[in-house]
Structure 1
Amino acid sequence: MSDAAYYLPVPEAASPTTAADDLEIAVFRPTARTVSTWGPHLQHGAPPSALLARAIERHRPRPDTRLTRLTVDLLGPVPLTDLEVRTRIERPGRRIELVVAELWATAPDGTDRAVARGTGWRLETVDLPEISCTSEPPLPPPAEATPADPDPSWKGGYIDTLDWRIVVPFGAPGLSSAWMRSEIALVEGETPSGLDRLMSVADVANGVGSKLDPRRWTFLNTELTVHLFRVPQFREQDWVGIAAEMSVGPDGVGMTAGLLYDETGTLGRITQNVQVRPR
């Protein structure tokens, strides 16, 4: 099995876009690099999120629009089996489009079901550099951060594909923050886009922002929403920055809220619904 990418394309199982329903189907095989921190038989949330974002970004792209909001709902454990990506434009429009992608997998009993869904709003863009602004605080550059693993208990599978630079240690009061980058491609044989690079790590925001000891607690996110007010600008060896904090209620339900960065500055925000349980 390849260890140079999270997914291998299965082109013989793909289906071209049909004009009648705009449905495009592609199939990808996960590698061992997608394995979750929370269990050896399911995928970490980051690679499936990135695979959905890739499908949405590439489906009938238009040069006068860009993806501005992406929501990924994890409908259950994403298994380590072939995934069928089904993509379509649900709400077409001249200025606003809604693109939907789903990951389908075959269960042990032979039935097919959607295990994750991504929805992305694409908005029409115009050239207005004079109004560009942001109030989000900057993140110190990667060169000033500390090379370190986030936690000794976070090992194997997906986590081992990341290189880390810690800015504010995890568990510290307020926002914790780090720079990270994936060492491998999203899909074998492809050069990742800026969105691919961002979404390949964005899901770890709940780990960056958690104040809980992962040896005593699990804190799985059931979804994530990313708002991008700027196009991600990543080169091959560039870092993705995340500053995040988790808040947890007294009933085991929490949320993570954070900021997303490339090396030129803030580019968006992320939120995640989180379910907390003792190990």
Structure 2
Amino acid sequence: MTAYFERLGEGRFRATEHTGGAWDLETQHIAPALGLLAHVVETDRDARRGDGLVVTRLSYDILGTVPVEEFEVDVQVVRAGRTIELVEAALSHAGRAVVRLRAWLMAPRDTSDVAGTPHDRIPAPDETEPWDPTSVWPGGFIRSVEVRRHQREPGRAGYWVRTGVPLVAGEEVSRLSRAVGLLDIANGMTVRATPEEVLFPNIDLTAHFFEQPEGEWLGFDTTVSFGARGVGLTTTVLHDERGPIGTSSQCLTVRPVPHPLHSGS
């Protein structure tokens, strides 16, 4: 099966049709690209050190769109450390930065005696009904995923997502990076208003993990909020089949679509 990306050389990749976007079919859905940047951070870590630092926070700024074409990535260590380090990665197209990532990595240690969370669990994948996201969204990425969803109300749902499409052709990719490649789907899985009524793309995504993801399903307990001044927020508690493992948030620019009768005014 074709992957989301093909490696062309050191720091160079080509996007495939599976990355096709939901807002614009000619540009990439940014979700797989976020997973790719996590992957290059982990690949760079493994080339530099072998002591098992884990990614605990990923903070992405989305600076624009990127075509379904070739692009470049770059990684550098911002703050080196024995047990904690900060790494920055960037994705660029035609000399223009499109996404910037800052990732904190930390040394794991045994804290099982105090482990726990008050976040509620969501029903397991086999307890959740299948749902077709192409009923709302177009694009190659949306077609590439399987979704099971319990919709509570517009802008509020619990759901599970998985994909059989590899992140990078011919490369071993961690479960974390594969999961991160699904995170950005959250903004479209429980819409407050249809994309025909309101545009609400996100300009960032920040995820924190207190457990590393396991298994093929990634769970989302998502709430979408629109403010009264053109700003929105999608917040999610992330799950695997063991229970909650972290959180993510996305800041939205909310833009009602003009009524056709008034589009020329």
Q: Structure 1: how far apart are the matches of 2:20 and 2:132?
A: 17
Give the C-alpha shift of residue 189 in structure 1.
1.4
Q: Structure 1: how far apart are the matches of 2:158 and 2:133?
A: 10
Equivalent AA in structure 2 for residue 257 of structure 1: T
Structure 2 counterpart of 1:249, from 227, 232, 235: 227
Structure 1 counterpart of 2:242, from 247, 259, 264: 264
Larger relative contact order, structure 1 or 2 (CA cutoff 8 Å, min sep 6): 2
Give the C-alpha shift of residue 204 in structure 1.
1.2
Match status 1:208 vs 2:186: no
Q: Structure 2: how far apart are the matches of 1:43 and 1:169?
A: 29
Equivalent AA in structure 2 for residue 104 of structure 1: S
Gaps of 5+ in 1: 15-25, 107-111
Equivalent AA in structure 2 for residue 261 of structure 1: H
> CA-to-partner distance for each residue in 1:102-123, whole Å, 9 max, x for gaps?
01111xxxxx111111110012
Give the C-alpha shift of residue 63 in structure 1.
2.6
Match status 1:65 vs 2:53: yes
Where does residue 17 of structure 1 map in the other structure? none
Where does residue 83 of structure 1 map in the other structure? 71
Match status 1:220 vs 2:198: no
CA contact (8 A) 1:150 1:170 kept: no
Q: Structure 1: how far apart are the matches of 2:134 and 2:67?
A: 25
Q: Structure 2: how far apart are the matches of 1:230 and 1:63?
A: 18
1:46–1:218: structure 2 CA closer, same or farther, 3 Å change rule?
same
What is the total number of aligned residue pairs between the two structures?
A: 254
Structure 2 counterpart of 1:156, from 122, 126, 139: 139
Give the C-alpha shift of residue 169 in structure 1.
5.0
Match status 1:183 vs 2:183: no
Give the aligned CA root-mean-square deviation in angstroms: 1.6
> CA-to-partner distance for each residue in 1:139-181, whole Å, 9 max, x for gaps?
1111111112136131231100001111235616xx3111110
CA contact (8 A) 2:206 2:250 kept: yes
Where does residue 130 of structure 2 map in the other structure? 147
TM-score by length of structure 2 reads: 0.91
Give the C-alpha shift of residue 79 in structure 1.
2.0
Q: Structure 2: how far apart are the matches of 1:64 and 1:190?
A: 19
Q: Structure 1: how far apart are the matches of 2:136 and 2:185?
A: 15
Q: Structure 2: how far apart are the matches of 1:124 and 1:53?
A: 17
Structure 1 counterpart of 2:179, from 198, 203, 227: 198
Gaps of 5+ in 2: 258-265
CA contact (8 A) 1:74 1:117 kept: yes
